[in-house]
Structure 1
């Protein structure tokens, strides 16, 4: 009985390992910037700020090789040639595998200009070969088990050169120090998604592996200031542009539309009289044409064609007639 169950248990464990290994590799249509290959490295976006992203990657298997060079570009070119020969048939089965993305370059932090550095280039194995990849014929190639990890990511366009990679790595570390994030200081990854034949809309990244809990907020950014509403003070002096006329406060329900249109000034002379107090209307009691609105008016001053018409009519009024009859104005 036990012998019958044991093979089934082995198969179940093998399937679980296989599914777990393939969980980080998926079709390229799941990514907006990984479009040249059929399969890409999948990730879970943890958070995003204006300066970087935090991503979570599942365990995956890669084929890698090391190259010693003074410049990253030279070492990456040598290593790329070895890995490309592996996926195109230089393996014990003569198998040809599809190119995947991205390509990782592990770059040491402590490098000197006068000394060469060791750069490690890695290709992501396709999902079908994550569990059982073919053995390389070149002894300089080996397999790398990438663990589950959170990484800080900064993206940039153009070409991934030594200068641009170092620049964006410096900008990312500067931001990580500012937000007090913990990360691995010994190396970082230069990440490329595009083939050398692609000239426009290229996508590159810089990765730093997070240590501990990833930081998604800025602890040094102050809380947005809150300005409380000032208490109401009856004796407080209001704004000069809204100071009412203290001699009389007009009732808004008694102001006619013609008075507002002809003269926005809030003066008692412009308020229609009550029937019991209606005096004889003389030209001097009408609105004075061309008079500027009072500084104490609560109505806004609007420049428009009506004001221009009144001013133009005023220029044509004889000098001996200081008061114009509103009916003589051509306001049509």
Structure 2
């Protein structure tokens, strides 16, 4: 696995982080790499200022390097877009109860990272894909745990027979319509609720209003490695109750 990173600037001083090419010869090695990712993930969560690079109709550059699920762009509206995903298969965690989206995503990411590094019943490694998505079922109060399910998009070559793994289960999407709001920077617990609320608000009174799922469940999609400090693209997804014949 080869990761490249440009220098970052803190208080206008360039800081160079050296990231080596790593080949995993054991599960311990992959676990150590996962911990390195999480250390950077934890540090980067402090840098939550948006850096731009995201907007309606912006194609995540990550998807030019790794495989992402294919979709059709149905409409571009003010502050959001409507997509149709024709088919996608995901490997998902069991529900994770936590008060923090960031913590729950970190927990799920560790499970999924082990999975793609060979901790599955077939003992095979799987290519990294994007995005990693976290389905959020909000709690009833600010101090109550919400429920989170973290999922990894399974590459096409593995979708016919995805390797089983303890604590994970496959989810196959048929045709799904999704309202999407994009934003930059790092995802944080302090701002993700605002992003989701902004998407709900944008859809009110629109042609898509009646199709919005009223359960308040939404999904956060993250496309970038924690090592990428600029040009980050994140999305909030809302599933819409639409059938193709109605389009």
- Alignment of 1:42 with 2:67, yes or no, is no
- Alignment of 1:90 with 2:119, yes or no, is yes
Distance, in Å, in 1 between the alignment partners of 2:125 and 2:229 is 26
Alignment partner of 1:174 out of 173, 176, 201: 201
Tell me, which stretches of 5 or more residues in structure 1 are unaligned? 1-30, 215-332
Contact 2:60 2:233 in 1 (8 A): no
Change (3 A) 1:167 1:76: same
Aligned residue runs from structure 1 range 172-251, under 5 A: 172-179=199-206, 181=209, 182-186=211-215, 187-212=217-242
Contact 2:138 2:147 in 1 (8 A): no
- Alignment of 1:152 with 2:182, yes or no, is no
Change (3 A) 1:36 1:111: farther
Match of 2:129 in 1: 100
Deviation at 1:178, TM superposition (A): 3.0
Distance, in Å, in 1 between the alignment partners of 2:187 and 2:60 is 19
Aligned residue runs from structure 1 range 215-294, under 5 A: none
Change (3 A) 1:38 1:103: same
Q: Of the two structures, which has the highest relative contact order with CA contacts closer than 8 Å and spacing of 6 or more?
A: 2
Deviation at 1:60, TM superposition (A): 1.6
**1:161-209 CA deviation, whole Å, 9 max, x = no partner?**
2222211111111111132612112211101100111100100001111
Distance, in Å, in 1 between the alignment partners of 2:104 and 2:60 is 29
Change (3 A) 1:122 1:189: same
Deviation at 1:34, TM superposition (A): 2.5
Match of 2:61 in 1: 33
- Give the greater-gyration-radius structure (CA): 1
Deviation at 1:146, TM superposition (A): 1.8
Aligned length: 182
Distance, in Å, in 2 between the alignment partners of 1:119 and 1:88 is 23
Match of 1:113 in 2: 142
Higher strand proportion (structure 1 or 2): 2
Distance, in Å, in 2 between the alignment partners of 1:63 and 1:118 is 17
The ranges of structure 1 where at least 4 consecutive aligned residues each deviate by more than 6 angstroms after the TM superposition are none
**1:274-304 CA deviation, whole Å, 9 max, x = no partner?**
xxxxxxxxxxxxxxxxxxxxxxxxxxxxxxx
TM-score in terms of structure 1 length = 0.52
